[in-house]
């Protein structure tokens, strides 16, 4: 639906705009251009870029800030090369046919999972990624295994599930974030930066609740009760996403050892604009990331009804307004290691 695409973009654009100042500041204060100003090419990548236009805004902002930094330090402006990364099934045709015509960079696509190596050693100067690193490479095996104590019967995520389920998800996240950071550690030049925007949960209770996934689960359960989908289908769905806490991010950076955590802060939550309720905005945002998976699992015919009831339920939840998570801005700098 068209309005949904518009909503997703508006919401994400809000967060990217909120991160804009932080990125400008990061480039002005933390990017070590003396380490690589002899190279005339500055390479940027957006990991999990989707199809635009948010990626174009983010990339342009980075390039403008880098240009300013080179000029202010008396260097001539480098040439820019931008690598747009997403899964191979991403619609790269739409992405590349809508590249801004006035762009001053060379553009290339990198269709591959960012959990694996993507670039030659020490070739990237700035990594950007927004709303993508929460995706897991797979649902943890144990939660699908009927003989395991972590079998997640009747639930679609770790929220409100047994502690074993959460522990399996947390272990899968740790594996994924370690692969992600290890690959980037090889690829990013010393003095280069990585800016990550990701939904998070607060530090705190060991077995977190997540209103959003619980609401999804309740919509699916209602549909199963009405016979629209089978209970077995609900039992076999588990969402491959994980909302890490700031402490978990810190621990992952420490395990990796090649980056310094320069900044980590919660971005201010945008109030929905116009006639869009928060439930509408969030359900459309989640639909952008998960529609394909829901279609594969339940079939296309239930999708509109599911997301419609999801947004209505989200709107009904007053506790939801206070939120139990947010978006985290993380700035990492590649440091020299012995």
Ligand X SMILES: C[S@@+](CC[C@H](N)C(=O)[O-])C[C@H]1O[C@@H](n2cnc3c(N)ncnc32)[C@H](O)[C@@H]1O
Residue located via tokens 């015919």: 301
Q: Which is nearer to ligand X, 33 or 129 (CB)?
A: 129
d(CA 278, CA 311) in angstroms, rounded, equals 8
Q: Which is nearer to ligand X, 132 or 229 (CB)?
A: 132
Tokens read off for 200: 């998070």
Q: Which is nearer to ligand X, 36 or 284 (CB)?
A: 284
40-79 footprint of ligand X as x/- string (CB under 6 A): --------xxx---xx------------------------
One of 86, 187, 217, 248 touching ligand X (CB under 6 A): 86
Q: Of all residues in this chain, which one has the CB nearest to ligand X in the complex? A: 48
* Least Å from the CB of residue 33 to ligand X: 26
Q: How far apart are the first and last CA of the chain?
A: 52
258-277 footprint of ligand X as x/- string (CB under 6 A): --------------------
Q: Phi/psi at 6 (nearest 5 deg)?
A: -65, -45
Taking contact as CB under 6 A, which single stretch among the options 17-25, 73-81, 112-120, 317-325 is the one that binds ligand X? 112-120
Q: Is 169 in the site for ligand X (CB under 6 A)?
A: no
153-156, long-range: CB within 8 Å, 24+ apart, which pairs?
153/235, 154/221, 154/231, 154/234, 154/235, 155/217, 155/238, 156/213, 156/216, 156/217, 156/220, 156/234, 156/237, 156/238, 156/239
* Least Å from the CB of residue 179 to ligand X: 10
| C-alpha distances out from residue 32 to 12, 120, 189, 337, 338, Å | 29, 20, 10, 16, 18
Q: Which is nearer to ligand X, 120 or 292 (CB)?
A: 292
Taking contact as CB under 6 A, which single stretch among the options 86-94, 205-213, 226-234, 276-284 is the one that binds ligand X? 86-94
Q: Which is nearer to ligand X, 130 or 283 (CB)?
A: 130
d(CA 337, CA 259) in angstroms, rounded, equals 9
**Interface with ligand X in residues 134-163 (CB under 6 A):** 135
- Whether the CB-CB separation of 252 and 178 falls below 8 Å is answered with yes
Q: Is 157 helix (H, G, I), strand (E, B) or coil?
A: coil
Q: Which is nearer to ligand X, 69 or 87 (CB)?
A: 87
Q: Which is nearer to ligand X, 132 or 331 (CB)?
A: 132
d(CA 61, CA 69) in angstroms, rounded, equals 12
Q: How are beta strands 259-267 and 326-334 bridged, if at all? A: antiparallel
d(CA 119, CA 98) in angstroms, rounded, equals 24
d(CA 71, CA 223) in angstroms, rounded, equals 59
One of 113, 159, 245, 284 touching ligand X (CB under 6 A): 113
One of 61, 123, 130, 245 touching ligand X (CB under 6 A): 130
One of 12, 165, 267, 280 touching ligand X (CB under 6 A): 12
Sites of contact with ligand X (CB under 6 A): 12, 48-50, 54-55, 85-87, 90, 113-115, 130-132, 135, 288-289
């Amino acid at each position: 639906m068209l309005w949904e695409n518009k909503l997703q973009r508006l919401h994400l654009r809000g967060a990217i705009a909120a991160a804009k100042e932080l990125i400008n500041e990061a480039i002005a204060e933390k990017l070590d251009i003396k380490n690589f100003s002899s190279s005339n090419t500055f390479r940027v990548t957006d990991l999990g870029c989707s199809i635009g236009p948010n990626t174009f805004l983010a990339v342009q902002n980075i390039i403008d800030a880098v240009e300013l930094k080179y000029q202010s330090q008396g260097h001539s402006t480098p040439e820019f090369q931008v690598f747009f990364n997403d899964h191979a099934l991403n619609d790269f045709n739409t992405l590349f046919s809508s590249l801004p015509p006035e762009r001053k960079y060379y553009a290339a696509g990198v269709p591959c999972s960012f959990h694996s190596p993507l670039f030659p050693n020490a070739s990237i100067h700035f990594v950007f990624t927004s709303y993508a690193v929460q995706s897991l490479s797979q649902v943890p095996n144990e939660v699908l295994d009927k003989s395991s104590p972590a079998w997640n019967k009747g639930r679609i995520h770790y929220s409100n599930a047994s502690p074993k389920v959460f522990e399996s998800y947390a272990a899968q996240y740790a594996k994924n974030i370690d692969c992600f950071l290890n690959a980037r550690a090889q690829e990013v030049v010393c003095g280069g930066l990585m800016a990550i925007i990701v939904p998070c949960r607060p530090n705190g209770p060991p077995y977190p609740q997540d209103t959003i996934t619980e609401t999804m689960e309740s919509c699916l359960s209602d549909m199963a009760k009405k016979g629209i989908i089978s209970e077995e289908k609900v039992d076999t769905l588990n969402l491959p996403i994980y909302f890490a806490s700031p402490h978990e991010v810190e621990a992952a950076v420490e395990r990796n050892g090649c980056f310094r955590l320069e900044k980590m802060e919660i971005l201010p939550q945008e109030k929905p604009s116009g006639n869009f309720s928060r439930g509408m905005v969030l359900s459309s945002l989640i639909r952008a990331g998960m529609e394909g998976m829901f279609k594969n699992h339940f079939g296309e015919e239930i999708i509109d009804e599911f997301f419609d009831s999801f947004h209505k339920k989200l709107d009904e939840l007053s506790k939801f307004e206070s939120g139990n998570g947010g978006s985290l801005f993380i700035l990492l700098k590649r440091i020299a290691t012995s």
